């Protein structure tokens, strides 16, 4: 084919492809325009996942009559004038690309009115060209209707998913914007049904209720306050999800997708979440406009920070601080199963019981109503005794506590290992006789890489020939724990991908797990007292390093109800 300059229509379609990938991108651009126009109410209506129709109606400033046609010209914007403005972008839009891009690939109908104009303006466009113009309704604001999306771009149309998948993307997106702007009333209607409605009263917690439901919203933990650089809400560890899709980040209230912010948030949960679990977070980061570049991609969801390290630390610290204050004890509020109940098919082994306790306590926690937030410190506890050689029974000012001796000890040791390691001051125990251990060939091939790290945690190990290795010292905190299994686990972490800090945590968790007192071991009163005192000193006493609770709490009023003393 000879070289040829493309038709303007093809150029417009190519450019539109960068901004409008799917129906949700149209909704995003229209919502951003409505927000930039100072709206306090934004209604979004979609049909068949937006493929058939998208309508966004706002009560913002409107577009002056003589500028409406201009707004659909490429690079026409009222938000940026010269290149110095690009360094200080405070609006969501600035590229002047959205309206022309949307119009290039659909049928658009816009009605808009400012307070200054006596009547509204109505413009109809087909494939980017104005095909009709007239007067519109008299209410202030803008209504944009987009129909037949991608009808003239078969290549794009082919890639659209089903109406319900596209609708799900749109409702995710509207959720994100309503979280970022609690003072704006959002309403999303899909095929005639209202799927999301926010009150627009400025309360982020009320938006959380609309999106995640009352129970989740009530147990979310506040990060910072309105004035802080990092503010919003994060979930308690017990509410974690198995997918990463509940992490929402905003930079100066612009919704962004950022691996850096995800990592910083998850880092704050170190040692609080079970592997494979992810928190819920809604966080806004306020930074000077010139410390962040939003002009990375036409879709404007990627940002670059001038100082990534500072942002990372700032977010990680803010979230951690909120979690440490609020890391709470699960309350048992559900009625116990009647004795002799045969409906339960769950096992009765220790693991099964623990699993069930955890499950029940986390539901109970989710059911908690918003009462005063518990302190991170434990109340003063009086040890009563031991149950099933596994749980410590204790009395506190507000009821009974059952403490899982293994989980509690694991938490204590985990924090000690991390602290000793941070100070490069690891306490070691020498072996009277070196302990010989076997490594699998795979572990053996990792040994050279792992040796230094093992050393830094107190394991002096040398190859003895073949698959045998000699352990001369071990971390003192491992006590009489299983050296072989701890070493195996630590070497295995080297085979796994992932960031170093997670690996460090897993190493500390292995040492803690094997060093901790086992379930099934009879403890003396003194030993139990020591353990509970140490737990009181822990930074996050309420969960073990894998995120399981170290204790469950039966509050006095619950006991009274159970015994029929109180209704
Ligand atoms: P950008 O938002 O990057 O400026 P757009 O193509 O999205 O570019 O919009 C072009 C212009 O049209 C905006 O700068 C703004 O002046 C005007 N505009 C678009 N939508 C609205 C709206 N809902 N209310 C008021 N003005 C709007
Ligand atoms: Mg815009």
How do residues 161-186 score in pLDDT, each as one tens digit?
A: 888 889 989 998 999 999 999 999 99
Supply the DSSP symbol for 427.
-
Both structure tokens of 292: 């962040």
Ligand nearest to the CA of 56: 1
Query: Is residue 63 within 6 Å of ligand 1 at its C-beta?
Result: yes
Output the CA 71–ligand 1 centroid distance in Å: 6
What is residue 368's predicted lDDT score, i.e. its pLDDT? 33
Both structure tokens of 152: 């003239």
Strand arrangement, sheet containing 107-113 = 129-136, 120-126, 107-113, 141-147, 53-58, 41-47, 185-190, 193-197
Output the CA 528–ligand 1 centroid distance in Å: 67
Which residue has 């927000």 as its token pair?
35
Helix 483-495 / helix 500-515 crossing angle, nearest 10 deg: 170
Question: Is the CB of residue 351 less than 8 Å from the CB of residue 358?
Answer: no
Q: What are phi and psi of 93, to 5 degrees?
A: -95, 160
Q: Which of 55, 70, 71 to mutate to test the pocket of ligand 1 (most atoms within 8 A of CB)?
A: 71
Ordered DSSP codes for 539-554: SSTTB-TTS-BSEEEE
DSSP reduced 3-state for 464: strand
Residues surrounding ion ligand 2 at CB below 5 Å: 33, 93, 98
Output the CA 6–ligand 1 centroid distance in Å: 27
Q: What is the mean pLDDT of residues 103-127?
A: 93
What is residue 367's predicted lDDT score, i.e. its pLDDT? 36
Q: Which of 36, 64, 75, 117 to mutate to test the pocket of ligand 1 (most atoms within 8 A of CB)?
A: 36
Query: Is residue 143 within 6 Å of ligand 1 at its C-beta?
Result: no
What is residue 327's predicted lDDT score, i.e. its pLDDT? 55
Give the span between the Cα atoms of 180 and 32, in whole angstroms. 11
pLDDT grade for 333, boundaries at 50, 70 and 90 = low
pLDDT in tens, 509-558: 999 999 999 999 999 988 998 899 899 888 888 888 888 889 988 888 88
Task: Inform me whether the pLDDT recorded for 354 exceeds 50.
Answer: no
pLDDT grade for 107, boundaries at 50, 70 and 90 = very high
Identify the weakest region by mean pLDDT among 1-15, 346-360, 385-399, 446-460.
Answer: 346-360
Q: CB within 8 A of 142, min separation 6: which ones?
A: 33, 34, 37, 57, 58, 60, 62, 63, 110, 111, 112, 113
Q: What is the mean pLDDT of residues 180-202?
A: 94
Q: CB within 8 A of 129, min separation 6: which ones?
A: none
Query: Is residue 141 within 6 Å of ligand 1 at its C-beta?
Result: no
Give the span between the Cα atoms of 63 and 58, in whole angstroms. 12
Which uninterrupted H or E stretch holds 266? helix 259-268
Give the span between the Cα atoms of 309 and 330, in whole angstroms. 35
Helix 259-268 / helix 308-326 crossing angle, nearest 10 deg: 30
Both structure tokens of 301: 């969801």
Nearest to 211, CA basis, from 241, 168, 176, 181: 176
Task: Inform me whether the pLDDT recorded for 497 exceeds 70.
Answer: no
Task: Inform me whether the pLDDT recorded for 369 exceeds 60.
Answer: no
Q: Which of 77, 108, 120, 184 to mutate to test the pocket of ligand 1 (most atoms within 8 A of CB)?
A: 77
DSSP reduced 3-state for 350: helix
Query: Is residue 103 within 6 Å of ligand 1 at its C-beta?
Result: no
Q: What is the mean pLDDT of residues 37-54?
A: 96
Q: What are phi and psi of 314, to 5 degrees?
A: -60, -45
Identify the weakest region by mean pLDDT among 26-40, 97-111, 125-139, 233-247.
Answer: 233-247
Buried b (16+ CB within 10 A) or exposed e, 54-91: bbbbbbbbbbbbeebeebbebeebbebeeeeeeeebeb
Query: Is residue 77 within 6 Å of ligand 1 at its C-beta?
Result: yes
Both structure tokens of 70: 């201009």
On the CB side of 344, CA atoms within 13 Å amount to: 12
Output the CA 203–ligand 1 centroid distance in Å: 27
Percent of the chain with pLDDT over 90: 47
What is residue 335's predicted lDDT score, i.e. its pLDDT? 42
Mean pLDDT value across the chain: 84
Ramachandran sector of residue 269 (left: φ over 0; alpha: ψ -120 to 50; beta: rest): alpha
Both structure tokens of 470: 């000699």
Angle at 54 between CA 48 and CA 59, to 5 degrees: 145
Task: Inform me whether the pLDDT recorded for 408 exceeds 60.
Answer: yes
pTM score, whole prediction: 0.63
Give the span between the Cα atoms of 138 and 145, in whole angstroms. 17
pLDDT grade for 43, boundaries at 50, 70 and 90 = very high
Output the CA 190–ligand 2 centroid distance in Å: 23
What is residue 567's predicted lDDT score, i.e. its pLDDT? 65
Ligand nearest to the CA of 144: 1
What is residue 377's predicted lDDT score, i.e. its pLDDT? 65
Query: Is residue 98 within 6 Å of ligand 1 at its C-beta?
Result: yes
Q: What is the mean pLDDT of residues 391-413?
A: 92
pLDDT in tens, 238-281: 787 877 888 999 999 999 999 999 999 998 887 777 767 889 99
Which residue has 């623990």 as its token pair?
354
Both structure tokens of 555: 């509050």
């Amino acid at each position: 084919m000879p070289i040829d300059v493309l038709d303007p229509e093809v150029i417009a379609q190519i450019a539109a492809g960068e901004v409008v990938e799917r129906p949700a991108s149209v909704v995003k651009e229209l919502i951003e325009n409505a927000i930039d126009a100072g709206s306090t109410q934004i209604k979004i209506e979609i049909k068949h996942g937006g493929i058939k129709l998208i309508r966004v109606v706002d009560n913002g400033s409107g577009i002056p009559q003589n500028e409406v046609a201009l707004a659909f010209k490429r690079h026409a914007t009222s938000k940026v004038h010269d290149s110095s403005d690009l360094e200080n972008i405070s609006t969501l839009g600035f590229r002047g690309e959205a309206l022309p891009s949307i119009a290039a690939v659909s049928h658009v109908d816009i009605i808009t009115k400012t307070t200054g104009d006596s009547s509204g303006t109505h413009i109809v466009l087909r494939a980017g060209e104005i095909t009709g113009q007239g007067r519109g309704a008299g209410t202030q604001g803008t209504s944009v209707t987009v129909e037949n999306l991608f009808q003239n771009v078969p290549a794009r149309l082919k890639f659209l998913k089903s109406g319900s998948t596209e609708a799900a993307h749109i409702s995710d997106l509207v959720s994100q914007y309503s979280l970022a702007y609690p003072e704006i009333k959002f309403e999303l209607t899909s095929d005639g049904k209202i799927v999301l409605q926010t009150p627009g009263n400025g309360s982020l917690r009320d938006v959380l209720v609309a999106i995640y439901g009352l129970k989740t919203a009530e147990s979310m933990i506040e990060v910072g306050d309105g004035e802080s650089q990092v503010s919003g809400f994060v979930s308690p560890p017990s509410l974690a999800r198995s997918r990463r899709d509940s992490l929402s980040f905003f930079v100066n209230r612009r919704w962004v997708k950022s691996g850096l912010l995800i990592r910083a948030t998850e880092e704050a949960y170190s040692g609080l979440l079970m592997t494979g679990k992810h928190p819920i977070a809604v966080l806004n980061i306020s930074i000077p406009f010139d410390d962040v570049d939003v002009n990375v991609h036409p879709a404007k969801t990627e940002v670059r920070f001038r100082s990534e390290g500072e942002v990372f630390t700032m977010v990680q610290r803010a979230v951690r601080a909120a979690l440490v204050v609020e890391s709470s004890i699960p309350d048992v509020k559900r009625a116990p199963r009647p004795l002799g109940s045969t409906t339960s098919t769950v096992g009765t082994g220790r693991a099964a019981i623990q699993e069930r306790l955890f499950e029940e306590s986390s539901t109970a926690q989710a059911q908690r109503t918003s009462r005063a937030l518990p302190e991170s410190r434990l109340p003063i506890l009086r040890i009563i005794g031991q149950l099933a050689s596994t749980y410590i029974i204790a009395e506190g000012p507000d009821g009974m506590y059952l403490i899982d001796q293994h989980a509690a000890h694991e938490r204590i040791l985990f924090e000690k290992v991390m602290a000793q390691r941070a100070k490069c001051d690891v306490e070691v125990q020498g072996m009277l006789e070196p302990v010989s251990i076997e490594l699998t060939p795979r572990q053996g091939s990792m040994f050279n890489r792992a040796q230094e790290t093992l050393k830094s945690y107190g394991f002096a190990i040398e190859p003895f020939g073949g698959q045998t290795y000699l352990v001369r010292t071990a971390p003192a905190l491992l006590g009489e724990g299983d050296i072989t299994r701890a070493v195996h686990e630590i070497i295995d972490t080297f085979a796994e991908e992932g960031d170093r800090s997670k690996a460090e945590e897993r190493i500390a968790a292995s040492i803690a797990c094997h060093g901790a007192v086992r379930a099934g071991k009879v403890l003396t009163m003194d030993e139990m007292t020591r353990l509970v005192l140490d737990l009181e000193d822990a930074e996050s006493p309420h969960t073990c390093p894998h995120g399981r609770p170290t204790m469950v709490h039966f509050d006095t009023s619950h006991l009274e109800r159970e015994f029929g003393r109180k209704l």
